[in-house]
Amino acid sequence: MKKIILILLSLLVQGCGNEPAVKKNTSAPKKVVEVPSFNSDSAYDFIAKQVAFGPRVPNSKAHQACGEYLINTLNRYCDTVIVQKADLTAFNGNVLKSKNIIASFKPERAKRVMLCAHWDTRPFADQAETNKNTPIEGANDGGSGVAVLLEMARQFSIKKPDVGVDIILFDSEDYGQPDESEYPRMQHSYCLGSQYWAQNLHKPNYFAKYGILLDMVGGKEAVFTQELTSMTFAEKTVKKFGILLLHLVTVDSFCFKNQPCY
Ligand SMILES: [Zn+2]
């Protein structure tokens, strides 16, 4: 995880200038980039804190409590925090009381970078071999991306980034319809929070130069490939930065020290 974060942080520092991330002329003097530090123990603790609430399934007590924790934590580190509330209807008709949490550094800056993850967890483990109806704990799926961004926010509070940064924690992203479902098929049943945000931007005419979405970045020996949707819609950006972490897929489990793996 640490390696990925270092890349991300260095992208933020160098990606926002006009200089390409990798210079073609290798004989030219190398640009020294100051990379903010990233504390992996702190990020790990941010995962553990989320998991301790229990599964963060929309409308649950754990979801409510974790949402407050995330808002309070981001309020401590960031310049502004906007909570975008929405009632979103899931595939089974449940109305999900949802909150997209949007925390910003230098909100006045026109040049902005968007970093996102989702903070809700899936209400059923339908992809698992056993206990398919049990909510997942979401240490990796949901928790890890949020934890990375919380640690980045903590680092940015110590040393402010040169550009505007928006950290968006989407809600109700993983309440999608299972493959086997008694309900009529709903189109786009996943990502309800980000769909809502896309239709109702938190600021009029909001624009970010680019965005990176983190999900499932805490897998053991995770391998990150160039994600297909990013390559389809933003190939240049993916190639320019070398890595754009958009809904990364890992099949590995997540393990806490001295505890069973999830
Ligand atoms: Zn996810």
Q: What is the pLDDT along the chain (262 residues), one digit of tens a residue?
A: 444 443 444 344 333 333 344 444 555 555 555 667 789 899 999 999 999 999 999 999 999 999 999 999 999 999 999 999 999 999 999 999 999 999 999 999 999 999 999 999 999 999 888 999 999 999 999 999 999 999 999 999 999 998 999 999 999 999 999 998 999 999 999 999 999 999 999 999 999 998 889 999 998 888 777 788 888 888 888 777 664 343 333 323 333 334 443 3
pLDDT attached to residue 258: 41
CB 124 within 8 A of CB 208: no
Q: Which domains does the chain have, with CATH numbers?
A: 2-15+38-241 (3.40.630.10)
Ligand 1 center from residue 190 Cα (angstroms): 10
Q: 230-245 burial, b for 16+ CB within 10 Å, e for fewer?
A: beeebeebbeebebbb
Ligand 1 center from residue 15 Cα (angstroms): 26
- What residues have their beta carbon closer than 5 A to ion ligand 1? 141, 174, 215
Ligand 1 center from residue 154 Cα (angstroms): 23
The number of C-alpha atoms within 13 Å of 117 and in the hemisphere containing its C-beta is: 28
Ligand 1 center from residue 241 Cα (angstroms): 23
- Residue 145 tokens read as 């991306």
Ligand 1 center from residue 115 Cα (angstroms): 15
Ligand 1 center from residue 143 Cα (angstroms): 9
pTM of this structure: 0.82
Ligand 1 center from residue 1 Cα (angstroms): 16
CB 218 within 8 A of CB 2: no
User: Helices 40-52 and 61-77, interaxial angle, to 10°?
Assistant: 150
Ligand 1 center from residue 142 Cα (angstroms): 5
pLDDT attached to residue 165: 97
Ligand 1 center from residue 216 Cα (angstroms): 6
181 phi, psi to nearest 5 deg: -150, 140
86 phi, psi to nearest 5 deg: -155, 145
Residue closest to 214 by CA, chosen among 168, 258, 181, 256 = 168
Report how far residue 196's alpha carbon sits from residue 161's, in angstroms, rounded to the nearest whole number.
28
Contacts of 239 (CB under 8 A, 6+ apart): none
Ligand 1 center from residue 173 Cα (angstroms): 7
First to last CA, the chain: 17
Residue closest to 38 by CA, chosen among 142, 159, 163, 141 = 159
